[in-house]
Amino acid sequence: MKRKDIKNRDDVALLVSSFYEKVRNDTTLKPFFSTIEDWDKHLDTLTTFWESSLFLKTKYYGNPLEAHIKVDQANENTITQEHFGIWMNLWFETIDELYEGEYANMAKNRARKMSTFLYLKLFEAR
């Protein structure tokens, strides 16, 4: 059965919420997300981030690098390449379960680039 491509905010929201459901159940990643108190707000922020990244029409005003550095510091600088690998695998898995097409591939490519950038910058910040 052919899956549709990511086309709008509702599609992005489904992707983000499905992905973070997996993250919240992953024993390796779960501890890094334990301080999030308002998951609805967090998911909305991440939906806006990904919508902006994919469609270039929504404005995202956050600072993902700063947020990740804070999480790493709060966890005694324990984020490793393994954590980024698990994150990427879950992201790709979720996309492949839900979508296929140009924007689905773009979501994978943007995540790959972002993951590499954040990984390098985390260690630089240490």
- Tens digit of each residue's pLDDT (9 = 90 or more) over 59-99: 888 888 999 999 999 999 999 999 999 999 999 999 999 99
Is residue 55 in a domain?
yes
Q: Write out the residue range of the structural domain in which residue 106 sits.
A: 9-125
- Please give the pLDDT value at position 1: 65
What local confidence, expressed as pLDDT, does residue 104 receive?
A: 98
The mean-pLDDT minimum among 9-18, 35-44, 61-70 falls in 61-70
Query: Do the domain assignments include residue 26?
Result: yes
Is the predicted pLDDT of residue 58 greater than 80, yes or no? no
Looking at the domain assignment, is residue 1 inside a domain? no
* pLDDT for the residue numbered 84: 95
The answer to whether position 2 is within a domain reads no
Q: Identify the CATH number of the domain in which residue 52 sits.
A: 1.10.490.10
| Structural domain includes residue 96 | yes
Q: How many domains does the chain have?
A: 1
Q: Is residue 15 part of a domain?
A: yes
Q: Which two tokens stand for residue 2?
A: 């052919």
Q: Rounded mean pLDDT of 39-64? A: 91
For the cut 90, the answer to whether the pLDDT of residue 41 exceeds it is: yes
Alpha helices by DSSP H, listed for the chain, are: 9-25, 39-55, 64-74, 81-98, 102-125
Check residue 5 and give its pLDDT. Answer: 98
In a domain, 3, yes or no: no
